[in-house]
Structure 1
Amino acid sequence: MIRCDWLSDEFQREYDRSMVYDLSDPLPELPELPGQVEVCPDADVAAERLLTDFRHQADCCVRAFGDFHVALPGDACFGALYRRLLVDPLFRMLPWRKTHLWMLDAYGDSEPAADLIGGWLHDHTDLPREQWHPFRDEDPEAFDRELRENFAFREAGQDRMDFVLLPVREDGALPGADVDAPGAVDTSVGLALGFGALVRARMQAVAGFGSDHVAPVLNRVGDGETLGLVRPNPQEGVRLFYVDASAFAEASST
């Protein structure tokens, strides 16, 4: 059950569902993860579950606040996920005109992160130009001013990211998680949202699918390693892991 303080009981019931989806084979051994875990039979179902919750979160935030603020990563593996947001009929009705699109960090493993995110979700949607907020330079203070200006119309306590998508990178790193700052910080990969912005996010969604290293990294998390990925433990929101169970079955058989 996803619990957000501003959701109505009626809407919360939409989330009151089994967290294990259509697993016909025996469940592989999965790590104990610090958050709610949605266990899915494969990467495709995990992606669909994540995007479905993304859509619900967007609709709820627009209903409650009038807009939706989301921070996304620019790793190449998310290109297919962003494309699915555009072409899958389940997600075509996203409220893009009410959405503010931010970057998680400047890391890009095949092209600049801003090019990948903006190329899919700004260029091919009706997201207003002024609501796309890429890291334009290396000045954290300028970006922090942009954050404050765009959250100015929200009540105190509601001025935070509504949805942050976290990648499971090969080393479990999350550059911004190493610096306790409420806005942007300068890191080895360029600008990134700092620890303070991440822990206050209304919803952290961890994409536990799509790469060969997902199972090894999440197993390390389950063993208690405080990797950057899980260091910003949500203080005022929820963290959900969308896990491809088949990745763990394959890992255990090798």
Structure 2
Amino acid sequence: MIDTQPEEEKPPRCTPTTPFPPPHKLLPNYNPPEEKLCECMPLGIFKSIWKGTRNVTGLRKKKANYSRRIHDDNIPLEMICCMSAYIATLQQRGVLNVPLANSLLVSVSCFSDSLATLERILTTPIPFGYIVHLRLIIWGYLIFLPFQLMSTFGYVTIPATALISIAFLGFLKIGEEIENPFGYDSNDLDMDHFCQNLIGRELAEITALPAPDPEEFMFSPFNLPLYRQHDDRSATELASVYSSSADIQGLLRKKASIAPSSRDKK
């Protein structure tokens, strides 16, 4: 007989899209995880050992499959789509000329490239063979180390082995921290500081005042030390009058001494 039982459906690799804005409330930009007891030292070493044993039993594979899924809450990608749609709308209305539109599209493309680079860093794990080999070498060395030191150090073998174990297991912990530099751990990149204190402050300074009119500083008498006011002589005529460098330096000193007094009068 032919088995007519339906095959087990596999879970979808991508979640269905939701209309923008999403129905659920977005999390704040600063949302660090709650500190637990396992985060305290020296209990963190037991957590890393437990995570290492679970990775060997298949947790790493599940994590990799989950990271490859496409989620519908990729806020940077939604921002790129909104900016691209806004630029396309301005082009259709005829508000932007071609050079300015190309400049804006290049900026959006750079934003997209930066997002792809950061996602590549986040989702690319350390090679599994390298991790297994490193763990086998370190744990094998630490297991047989007390038998090698017992005849020489005696009772000092216990603290000596503990110190050496802390040093070697620290390399494993550092490897796990480097694998994902985005988060709220002590060794992660402080992205909130970069965005709020550095980029945010510079944007606030740039947008605090309106852009000045170029005529205000280009044709200002304080910005023309070699020209007199309402002087329309060409560069050739000025070169014939002030032929030596001493004449030009004297004119600059004279203008520098006159400028503060004229400002005080105003």
TM over 0.5: no
- The structure whose residues are more often helix, as a share, is 2
Larger relative contact order (CA 8 Å, sep ≥ 6)? 1
TM-score, normalisation: structure 2: 0.21
Rg comparison, structure with higher value: 2
TM-score, normalisation: structure 1: 0.22
- The structure whose residues are more often strand, as a share, is 1
